[in-house]
């Protein structure tokens, strides 16, 4: 069965590294390399793949919305329309003996396809290999991770009742909410991970969910609508800003933990992402494309997963 048109994450089978463009690539219009990248690197749009079915097992691939082709034995994303016309199509051939959702990626009428380096793989550019290697070696096998829009059908959407809740990041056990130290102005207030040892669950740490249908909710922190600005999560205090805050889709991921959810925009392209590391107290929640790990059901890094439980008055 062909892959559905949609957004995907691609991983190298041999390294389990995500495949995509580097976050520190230059800002020119020159072609951008496609690399294997450490999963610990925070995802962004350049590691989200658009896959469009053409015919049979042929597809058009885009990395960060740029058409992907090959030149000089390496895989590139093309930013200009002229270069994109040369990108061509790719054949995605499922290799069942490697496991579910595993593919070799080749040119439709060529004897070369993608291969990833197995040594020091972070930042290594994907390159072609001969077909004998492609059919026998895991370095040539790539696994597709479905984006939230495909991995969570409507039957799995949240059914949280209207009411007040506590939100905690699964990875850190830190409370999610507004800071006790925020100023008294009407400027938007950041949403942070907060050390639970020093954070009472009151005021801006109490969340209100109002269901609007099909797993979508209006979300408030301390009575202020929550939205996104400049790729960060904010609580908006004034009416004009609250009106533009929009809705959120809350998707259960019971494979991660009890009462665990990812929280994404309705279009399913970006979601809440907490900081990782030792010093995460008062680090603001980001809103970015999510990493989807190669498994079924799909798993997510714990810093992208949030535990939502009713607030006890």
User: 169 and 128 share a domain?
Assistant: no
User: 142 and 40 share a domain?
Assistant: yes
Residue 122 lies in a domain: yes
Residue 239 lies in a domain: yes
Q: Residue-wise pLDDT tens for the chain (313 aa)?
A: 677 888 888 877 666 677 888 888 899 999 998 888 876 554 555 678 899 999 988 999 999 889 999 888 888 999 998 888 888 999 888 765 445 677 888 888 776 778 876 554 455 565 544 333 333 334 445 555 433 333 333 335 678 999 999 999 999 999 999 999 999 999 999 999 999 998 989 989 999 999 998 778 999 999 999 999 999 999 999 988 888 889 999 999 998 999 999 999 887 778 999 998 888 999 999 999 888 765 666 788 999 999 999 997 5
**Per-residue model confidence (pLDDT) at position 17:** 75
Residue 227 lies in a domain: yes
User: 133 and 74 share a domain?
Assistant: yes
Residue 275 lies in a domain: yes
Last residue of a domain, one of 146, 178, 199: 146
**Per-residue model confidence (pLDDT) at position 154:** 36
Alpha carbon of residue 28 to chain centroid: 25
Of 194, 216, 212, 217, the C-alpha closest to 204 is 194
How many angstroms separate the CA atoms of 181 and 185, rounded?
12
User: 30 and 139 share a domain?
Assistant: yes
**Per-residue model confidence (pLDDT) at position 281:** 94
**Per-residue model confidence (pLDDT) at position 64:** 87
Inter-CA distances, 144 with 100, 138, 159, 230, Å: 9, 14, 28, 29
User: 160 and 305 share a domain?
Assistant: yes
Residue 215 lies in a domain: yes
**Per-residue model confidence (pLDDT) at position 286:** 96
User: 18 and 103 share a domain?
Assistant: yes
**Per-residue model confidence (pLDDT) at position 20:** 85
Residue 226 lies in a domain: yes
DSSP 3-state percent helix, strand, coil across the chain (nearest 5): 15, 40, 45
Question: Looking only at Cα atoms, what is the longest distance across the chain?
Answer: 66
Q: Who's near 277: CB < 8 A, 6+ residues apart?
A: none
Tell me how many domains the chain contains.
Answer: 2
User: 107 and 162 share a domain?
Assistant: no
Residue 45 lies in a domain: yes
User: 279 and 246 share a domain?
Assistant: yes
Domain span at residue 83 reads 6-146
**Per-residue model confidence (pLDDT) at position 80:** 93
Last residue of a domain, one of 146, 163, 193: 146
- Residue 57 sits in a domain of what CATH number? 2.80.10.50
User: 267 and 174 share a domain?
Assistant: yes
Q: Who's near 83: CB < 8 A, 6+ residues apart?
A: 31, 67, 69
**Per-residue model confidence (pLDDT) at position 1:** 63
Residue 1 lies in a domain: no
Last residue of a domain, one of 93, 124, 146: 146
User: 137 and 171 share a domain?
Assistant: no
User: 114 and 32 share a domain?
Assistant: yes
**Per-residue model confidence (pLDDT) at position 196:** 94
**Per-residue model confidence (pLDDT) at position 147:** 37
Full-model pTM: 0.58
User: 228 and 132 share a domain?
Assistant: no
């Amino acid at each position: 069965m062909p892959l559905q048109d949609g957004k995907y994450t691609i991983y190298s089978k041999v390294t389990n590294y995500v495949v995509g463009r580097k976050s520190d690539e230059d800002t020119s219009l020159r072609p951008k390399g496609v690399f294997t990248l450490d999963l610990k690197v925070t995802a962004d749009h350049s590691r989200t793949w658009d896959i469009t079915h053409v015919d049979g097992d042929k597809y058009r691939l885009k990395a960060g919305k740029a058409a992907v082709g090959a030149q000089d034995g390496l895989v590139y994303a093309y930013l200009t329309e002229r270069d994109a016309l040369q990108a061509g199509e790719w054949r995605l051939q499922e290799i069942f003996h490697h496991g579910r959702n595993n593919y070799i990626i080749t040119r439709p009428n060529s004897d070369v396809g993608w291969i990833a380096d197995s040594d020091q793989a972070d930042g290594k550019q994907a390159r072609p290999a001969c077909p004998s290697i492609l059919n026998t070696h895991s370095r040539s096998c790539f696994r597709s991770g479905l984006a939230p829009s495909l991995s969570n059908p409507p039957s799995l959407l949240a059914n949280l009742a209207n009411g007040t809740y506590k939100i905690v990041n699964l990875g850190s056990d830190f409370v999610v909410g507004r800071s006790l130290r925020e100023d008294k102005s009407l400027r938007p207030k950041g949403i942070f991970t907060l050390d639970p040892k020093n954070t009472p669950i009151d005021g801006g740490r109490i969340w209100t969910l109002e269901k609007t249908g099909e797993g979508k909710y209006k979300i408030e922190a301390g009575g202020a609508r929550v939205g996104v600005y400049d790729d960060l999560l904010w609580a908006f205090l004034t009416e004009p800003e609250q009106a533009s805050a929009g809705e959120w889709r809350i998707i259960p991921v019971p494979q991660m933990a009890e009462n665990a959810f990812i929280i994404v925009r309705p279009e399913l392209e970006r979601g809440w992402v907490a900081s990782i590391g030792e010093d995460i107290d008062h680090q603001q929640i980001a809103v970015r494309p999510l990493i989807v790990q190669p498994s079924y059901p799909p798993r997510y890094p714990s810093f992208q997963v949030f535990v939502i439980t009713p607030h006890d008055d």
